[in-house]
Structure 1
Amino acid sequence: MIHFCLAHTAYHFSRRLPKRHRLRLQFAIFALGIAAFIFQLYILLRPRSSHYCGLPLLYNLVGSIIFTFFTIGLALLLVMLEPVPWELKTTFFIFGGASFAKGVCTIVFTALATQCAKTTPELYYLSVTLSVSSLVSTAFFSVLGLFWLVNMVFPGLILNKETKTGICYEPVSECGCLWHI
């Protein structure tokens, strides 16, 4: 879920900036995305990464590279467009579901591939890093989703922007970006 989290963070960070500074953010997103892509490609092309590993960590890395491309593209589109069209929002949430599934696969493969730390150490430790970051971002969105769900069932309990009340009004009043896309 880390890929969804990165694009989501870029979107909300861009909304906190004045419009004249968003071009700089677009360049930063592009540069960081390309750096992540090059790093993953470097790990993929390492001779030791092609050694035998009982689980498909190499294929998982290829999937991560593909998701990195989508993350860069979606983040740039979300930063550029205002307002964001509903088609892009729908695509973004589908990407979030796919990113969640990818994160679960990464966590499962990494947990079962402890023997790969000896044969393909770079690949294994990159997979551990992606697993931990996916787990942290999934936990964040799970808590956020729980708050959103409670607010849908009991309107205004968690957040009511009109009356400026609710359990989460104070934290969200400073950064409304925590609440929605």
Structure 2
Amino acid sequence: MFLYMLIYMAYHSSRWIPRSKRLKFQIVNVVFTALVLVPQFVILGSPKSSRYCNQPLLNNLSASIALSFIAAGFSVIFTLTDPVPQSLWASYHVFGLLTCGHGLSTAVLTLTAASCAKTTPELYCMSLFLTVASIFSTAFFLLRGALWLAKRPSVMDLSGNNER
């Protein structure tokens, strides 16, 4: 869910900037994309990462890199397109489900890979970071969803007065 949240924040941050000046925001977008991708590539290319680990953390990192590229594409499209078509919103939410599944699998792999902390420390630390980031972003969206539900008028209000 971490990548899903980054796209969400890029979209809402870009809406504060006038449409004619969003090109400058794309530079910030590239910097954030680099901050997400470069550490993953460094760890993927590290010789220590190819050592034996009883969990497929290296495969999980490869999936994370692929999802990061997709997230970079979504953030660029969302910050340049106004209004965003419904079909793009739908694909973004499907991507959110994919990142949720990836975050869940990363958490399970990280929790069961304690021995990998000694054999592949950088890979294990990256997996741990992705797990923590996924937990925080999931909590963010759960809180956001709860606030959205609290703000909606009640379906059970039979008086006909649905205004709050």
TM-score, normalization: structure 1?
Answer: 0.82
Matches within 5 A, 1:17-166: 17-152=17-152, 154=154
Worse overlay, 30-39 or 41-50: 30-39
Aligned residue pairs total: 158
Worse overlay, 138-147 or 81-90: 138-147
| Amino acid across the alignment from 1:85 | P
Residue 151 of structure 1 and its aligned partner are, at CA, apart by: 4.0
Superimposed CA distance per residue, residues 47-96 of structure 1 (whole angstroms, 9 cap, x where no aligned partner)? 11011111110000000000110110000000000000001100111011
Residue 20 of structure 1 and its aligned partner are, at CA, apart by: 2.9
% identical equivalent positions: 38
- Distance in 2 between residues matched to 1:149 and 1:101, nearest whole Å: 23
| Amino acid across the alignment from 1:6 | L
Residue 18 of structure 1 and its aligned partner are, at CA, apart by: 1.9
Q: CA RMSD in A?
A: 1.8
- Distance in 2 between residues matched to 1:22 and 1:133, nearest whole Å: 27
- Distance in 2 between residues matched to 1:82 and 1:53, nearest whole Å: 46
- Distance in 1 between residues matched to 2:79 and 2:69, nearest whole Å: 16
| Amino acid across the alignment from 2:67 | F
Superimposed CA distance per residue, residues 68-125 of structure 1 (whole angstroms, 9 cap, x where no aligned partner)? 1011000000000000000110011101111111111111111111111100000000
Q: Are 1:13 and 2:13 matched, yes or no?
A: yes
Residue 38 of structure 1 and its aligned partner are, at CA, apart by: 2.4
TM-score, normalization: structure 2?
Answer: 0.90
The alignment partner of 2:15 has SS state of: helix
- Distance in 2 between residues matched to 1:117 and 1:44, nearest whole Å: 16
The alignment partner of 1:144 has SS state of: helix
Change (3 A) 1:118 1:86: same
| Amino acid across the alignment from 2:108 | V
- Distance in 1 between residues matched to 2:131 and 2:7, nearest whole Å: 17
| Amino acid across the alignment from 2:113 | A
Superimposed CA distance per residue, residues 22-54 of structure 1 (whole angstroms, 9 cap, x where no aligned partner)? 111112212321342222111001111011111
